Amino acid sequence: MAEQEKAIDVEKLLKNKLKSVSIGSLESSIAKVISELVGEDYKCTIGEVKYTLFSGADFHVKVELSYNPEK
């Protein structure tokens, strides 16, 4: 007997929780991870956020070396 497909929770798909996430938090989190991976201080800027219907988001991410003369 074939497995039955799980019912899709349409309400969950339509409730985009990404809208509640701070763009600043995303920027600092991405910058932190990249800085740790590369070993240099990086900054991140997110622009043009467009939330999609099915709990997603499209945005432009810019990552660049952060010049900090004290390091």
Whether residue 53 is contained in a domain is answered as yes
pLDDT tens, residue by residue, 8-64? 777 776 788 888 899 999 999 999 999 999 999 999 999 989 998 778 899 999 999
Residue 44 belongs to a domain: yes
pTM above 0.75, yes or no: no
Distance of CA 18 to the CA centre of its chain: 8
Note whether residue 48 is domain-resident. yes
pLDDT(68) > 70? no
CA atoms within 13 A on the CB side of 60: 3
Q: Is residue 6 part of a domain?
A: no
Distance CA 10, CA 13 (A): 5
Q: Would you say 33 and 24 are in contact if contact means Cβ atoms under 8 Å apart?
A: no
How far, in whole angstroms, is CA 59 from its chain's centroid?
A: 8
59 in a domain, yes or no? yes
Number of domain units in the chain: 1
Domain that holds residue 37: 20-65
Is residue 2 one of the residues assigned to a domain? no
